[in-house]
Amino acid sequence: MESRTGKETENQATILVVDDNKEIVYSISELLKYEGFEVVKAYDGMQALDAMEEHPVDLILLDVMMPRLNGLSALMKLREKSRIPVIILSAKTEESDKVSGLVLGADDYVEKPYNPAELIARVKAHLRRYRAWGGGAPKAEADQIVNGGLMLDKKQRIVVVEGEKVRLTATEYKILELLMEHPGQVFSAEQIYENVWQESASYTVENTVMVHIRHIREKIEIDTKKPRYVKVVWGIGYKMEKYS
C-alpha cells in the first residue's frame, strides 16, 4: 500500500486503482496521493480481487479492457459481496462498456483521457455518498425517489446529491421531480412547461425551460459539461438518465 504524502484531507480513504496500463495507474496514483488518499494498485481483475482480500478499500477505479479477468467480470464478482463505490475508467469508444458497467453495479464512469479535477471530484462525491448512507446504496423510502446519488424527498421537498442537501427553487424542484419520476423518458420543452407551469406552451417556452435546466445542472452535476443525470436528447428534449 502506498503511504500518503502531501496534503491531508477530510476524505481520507483507500482507493484501489485497477488498469493494465502501468503509466495510467502511476499517474492516477500520484494524483490521489497528492489529495491525501491511500492507494492500492492492481493491473488486472484477478489482482484487483486479491487486493480486496488483503486491504480494506473504500473505492475502486476500474478499467474495463484487461487481461486474465476484465473489469466487468471483476465487477460482477465484487458485487456478490460488496457495495463499495466503483468508478469505471472507460475510453470514449467503449460506450457499450459504460452501459454494461452501470447495469452490473458500477456507480459512475470517467472517460479516458480523464480530467484530473473531474476524477478527484467524482471520487470525493462517491465517498461522501457512500458514507452518508451508511456504506451501501441508498434505498428509497415512502415519498422518496432515489436515482444513483440523487435523492428527492417529496414529503419534505428536499433534494440530496451525493449525501449533501442542495437548494432548488420551487420551479427547479418541480422540473427535477418530473424527470426523476419518469427516468429514461424524454420530455420536450413544451411538455415540461405544461406539466410544471400548468399553462399551455407557446413557441417561446423552450428558452425558459433551457435556463431552468441549466440551473438544475449547476446544482446537481459534478461537471455541467458532462452531465451524468439530466441529459439533452438533441432535437427532442430532456431526460433523466437512470442509475441503480
DSSP output for 78-136: HHTT----EEEEEETT-HHHHHHHHHHT--EEEEESPPHHHHHHHHHHHHHHHHHTTSS
pLDDT score, position 130: 79
Half-sphere exposure (Cβ direction) of 16: Cα atoms closer than 13 Å: 31
pLDDT score, position 3: 47
The answer, as to whether pTM is greater than 0.85, is no
Going by their DSSP bridges, the two strands 158-161 and 230-233 should be labelled as: unpaired
Tell me the per-residue pLDDT of 193-222, one tens digit each, with 9 for 90 and over: 999 999 888 878 999 999 999 999 999 998
Q: Which backbone phi and psi does 96 adopt, to 5 degrees?
A: -65, -35
Does the pLDDT of residue 96 top 80, yes or no?
no
Tell me the per-residue pLDDT of 25-66, one tens digit each, with 9 for 90 and over: 999 999 999 999 999 999 999 999 999 999 899 999 999 888
pLDDT score, position 133: 62
pLDDT score, position 8: 46
Cell output for 166:
442542495
Rounded-to-10 torsion of CA 122, 142, 175, 125:
-10
Sheet of strand 38-42: strand arrangement: 38-42, 14-18, 59-63, 86-91, 108-112
The amino acid sitting at 54 is E
Place of cell 496534503: 7
CB 160 within 8 A of CB 151: yes
